[in-house]
Structure 1
Amino acid sequence: MQKYEIFINPKQLNQLDKDIWMDKHVPAVLKIGSSQYKIGLSYRGNVIRKKKKKSYNIVFQKPFTVNGAHEIHLNAEFNDITLCRNKLSLDFFENIGVSAPHSKHILLYINGYCKGIYLELESFDQYLLEKRKLPLGPIIYATNYHANFSIFTPEKELKKSLDDGYTLKYGEKKDLANLENLITMTNTLSNEEFEKQIPMILDVKQYLTWLAGVVCTQNFDGFIHNYALYQNSETGVFKITPWDYDGTWGRDLHGQLLDHDFIPITGYNTLTGRLMFFPQFKKDYCDILSSTLANEFTVETQTEKIDVLFQTIVPYLHLDPFVKATPEIFNQEKELIIHFIKKRNAYLKQQMIKLQ
């Protein structure tokens, strides 16, 4: 496991601790192997900021990009005893055909003290688009539960703005008008017009593949939060990508157990509900989900991936001051995940018959 060392003036570190909600970056130095980089450092996340093991956001300053990235995230994965569910999920999405941030586990030190095992994640931004040779275009994050593709909040109140729940990561403010157009179409067009026009602004099959991924991994927040939208500037079509997937594979974001049938086969948001009205879109979804259940979301496929991840993590558990898991606990969690896959797979196959 690669070692990341951050060196920071204690006064700057105290500044972060004095106001854990501050998003302003403070200067620091990141050393990886024999290379050193000047960086800006801040805490990131929401609930995690209150925990002892915090997550970090890093922006490279000199040089401005490293391995094609200007910004990376170091996630504590504090509520996931395996530290692996997020990576297992994002790799799963990549394997079923949905572009997702790449990730790897690292060992983090700050001013010589080991802070434990962290998951380094790519930032979904314009630099990632360039790295993957995709046309530049607006990137919009779903940053709270109002990002449900509806004109109403989850509390059934009329939204003050159609872009409520979203934050522009890359692009200009006017680019939000295209998102507002997607939401307007979803909520106001007749069935005939919606079926005809939606493929012009949304990559429907890619969206349905993403939906299959959220449904399989059972991310409770994934349908109205924990995603980003990217609009290809050449085609004008939106694609969707996942992020923050630690509350998956049988546990929620707090680490509590979730029954295998907690999330329905179509999830829940207004856009999905609209798409499922049409027989062709429903058939496309069932075909995608059926293939996923037969090939990727299986005990055989995922057991191998879990083993590789656990073999990476377990030898370093004793170095993480915040982790109390043992190899025996990891084995128990592996069995829990495998049991979840088996039960969830069977449940979704059963529900797919009803859906068709």
Structure 2
Amino acid sequence: MKKWFAFFGLTLGIFSVFGIAFYLVPSQSSTFNERIELENQNEEKTQEGKNEIIDLYLDVREESLSYLYSRDRFDDNRIDGTVIIGDDTTKHQTEIRFRGNSSRGLNKKPLSLRFDKPKDFIFGGTHLNLNAMYTDPSLMREKISLDMFHDLGLLAPKTSYYNVYINGIFEGVYLSVDRIDEHMIAFTGNNPRGTLIRDQFRHNQHIANIEVSSIFNFDLNSVENKEEFLEQTTSYRNNPNWEAFMELQEWVYETEPGAEYAAEFGNYVDIPSFMDWLILHFLIADVDAFSDDYWMYLDQDDPEAKWQLIPWDKDLTFGAHYRSEVGTGNHYFAYESPVNSRFGNKLLEKFLATPEFRDMMNVRMEYLMKEVFTPNYFESKVAELSEVLLKNGEHTAEQSFILHRKNSIGEPEFEDYYKENLLDFVELRYQYLTQYLGGFGIEENHTSLDVSNVVKGETLYLTDQKGWVIGKIEVEENNSADNLSISIEQSTLSNEIDRVWTIQTSKGSLSGTLTLYYRNDTGWIGKENWYMEDTPTGDQWYMQLAEVMESSEIRTIPSYINPYSNKVVSLEILELKGTQQFLIKAQ
């Protein structure tokens, strides 16, 4: 981890040519590295727990349990119960309620367990948050996301898997995510008395009778009692330093992006950790975080301390997407979320609109993609967590799913497809981000590549100027081909995917495995729905690759399809020569 921050310091130094002295103050860097070392030591102590699913046995009186699941789901009054963890027979008194917001409306309910005193099994905390992961059929997205923040030494909640049994019935695999409070802060070696504030303006707009969605887009001088107003419109823990937060908020609101913003930002916010926090959200495509899915921390006892951001709520990441007509994250696949801010969060918008910071961010993003969070990193994470999830209690419990129908919106027989979908997201998201770093153009649904120097074993991504990957070729042989282009047009030749892919190879030929990608989303990002049914997967399982021959005959090609990734892959080596047209159609 230290070498990544050393690189970051070098990057900051490079951009001092803008006339702004960015650097890591030695004392701050030393303190930061000491914290990383302490967190690593704590992580080692809990490594055994990280690499297994912990059994949690929750006992609740039947009438209380029935009341919990039949009352208004937003009722936060707690009911009594007892908890046993693993093989330890100790019974811990607890109080239970549902947690979350929209997730309470899903079939599998997230749970909040509160204890009357600190517990070792939650690392000295008093709250155990159990996320249901119902919208994530891989059961990995939130875990991998938060692990990435830890791998960069950033402040982030810890996670652990639990097999949850309620009154002896297995009710699913849950992910515990540390409550962000003084216990979590102390565990990371930071000052537990520090300020913790969460921007909840989006949900408290009625208080000020205004329409802005972030506290950083509000004129705080327009209210008479600023501290009282912040207490009403934010979430907070401990005894916050409201004066320090007001100073940050007012500076952000009043300062325009540009040289002044760049020169003074580091007086308030820790630049390296903030930039990595921001970049990681772009890598995993979690733009919801820019509204209220983060906490801000300041060690108010240290006069040199700067604000740090703590990630929160990572269920809709790695391609999970939201559609209003469905009402929750689901199988619709998205990887093209833009590299910008949403919800009027001026803290982020102005940072991204400042050229000095944007340039630094782009350099750092490219480094993290190529050197840290590589495809191998994600393949290893998926393999590791797959081994952990083999201990899913569903496979061994005598009775399962009385309160909850199943673990997630997914189906067990498609488990490998869900994991592949997660890895496909990384592959395609990185191509989108690579196009962003090179500069977006206006041409879409068409691209052309010089393939004259391409050799066996290389992978060609056919990405248009908007960042969408039209196709992919895993090269087996290059027989003097020098250029290859691909384009997509609407077509009536297929009743399933109303498009035709045209590939043109100049001179010679190129042989390899061909993958075609089709869009299956009509979300706010603005993509078209090329699959002709309204359901996310429907009959896509029966579609395959096909080629339109010169005689207009359509030749089907043995192929493999993953509807969750919107892709079809040839199972035979194809020779690409001259002009050819391909379809995706039913068998």
With normalisation by structure 2, the TM-score equals 0.55
What residue in structure 1 maps to residue 388 of structure 2?
312
Measured after TM superposition, the shift of residue 210 of structure 1 is 0.6
1:224 corresponds to 2:312? no
| Matched-pair contact (CA < 8 Å) for 1:30–1:38 | yes
Measured after TM superposition, the shift of residue 20 of structure 1 is 2.1
Structure with greater helix share of residues = 1
Give deviations 1:123-160, integer Å, cap 9, x for gaps: 110011111210131111244642363228xxxxxxx9
| Matched-pair contact (CA < 8 Å) for 1:96–1:296 | no
Picking from 323, 329, 338, the partner of 2:407 is 323
Amino acid paired to 1:16: L
With normalisation by structure 1, the TM-score equals 0.88
SS of the residue 1:74 aligns to = strand
| Matched-pair contact (CA < 8 Å) for 2:132–2:174 | yes
Measured after TM superposition, the shift of residue 338 of structure 1 is 1.5
Picking from 330, 342, 350, the partner of 1:255 is 330
Paired residues for 1:39-188 under 5 Å? 39-62=94-117, 66=121, 67-136=123-192, 137-143=194-200, 145=202, 146-147=213-214, 149-151=216-218, 166-172=234-240, 175-188=241-254
Give deviations 1:280-302, integer Å, cap 9, x for gaps: 32232123212211133322110
Structure with greater strand share of residues = 2
The alignment-based identity, stated in percent, is 22
Amino acid paired to 2:164: L
| Matched-pair contact (CA < 8 Å) for 2:262–2:356 | no
Give deviations 1:235-266, integer Å, cap 9, x for gaps: 342100111111111112512424321x2223
What residue in structure 2 maps to residue 196 of structure 1?
263
Mapped partners of 1:333, 1:148: distance in 2: 37
Measured after TM superposition, the shift of residue 91 of structure 1 is 0.6
Structure 1 residues 270 and 164: alpha-carbon distance in aligned structure 2, compared to 1, 3 A threshold: farther
Mapped partners of 2:230, 2:265: distance in 1: 17
The structure showing larger relative contact order (alpha-carbon pairs under 8 Å, at least 6 residues apart) is 1
RMSD of aligned residue pairs (Cα, Å): 2.6
| Matched-pair contact (CA < 8 Å) for 1:56–1:75 | yes
Structure 1 residues 9 and 176: alpha-carbon distance in aligned structure 2, compared to 1, 3 A threshold: farther
Structure 1 residues 300 and 281: alpha-carbon distance in aligned structure 2, compared to 1, 3 A threshold: same
Aligned length: 346
What residue in structure 2 maps to residue 3 of structure 1?
55
Which deviates the most, 250-259 or 227-236?
Answer: 250-259
Structure 1 residues 135 and 223: alpha-carbon distance in aligned structure 2, compared to 1, 3 A threshold: same
1:37 corresponds to 2:92? yes
Mapped partners of 2:425, 2:201: distance in 1: 27
Structure 1 residues 326 and 49: alpha-carbon distance in aligned structure 2, compared to 1, 3 A threshold: closer
Where structure 2 has 5 or more consecutive residues not aligned to the other structure, the ranges are 1-52, 203-212, 220-227, 323-328, 441-587
SS of the residue 1:260 aligns to = coil
Mapped partners of 1:104, 1:58: distance in 2: 15
Which deviates the most, 183-192 or 343-352?
Answer: 183-192
Where structure 1 has 5 or more consecutive residues not aligned to the other structure, the ranges are 153-159
Amino acid paired to 1:30: V
Mapped partners of 2:152, 2:233: distance in 1: 27
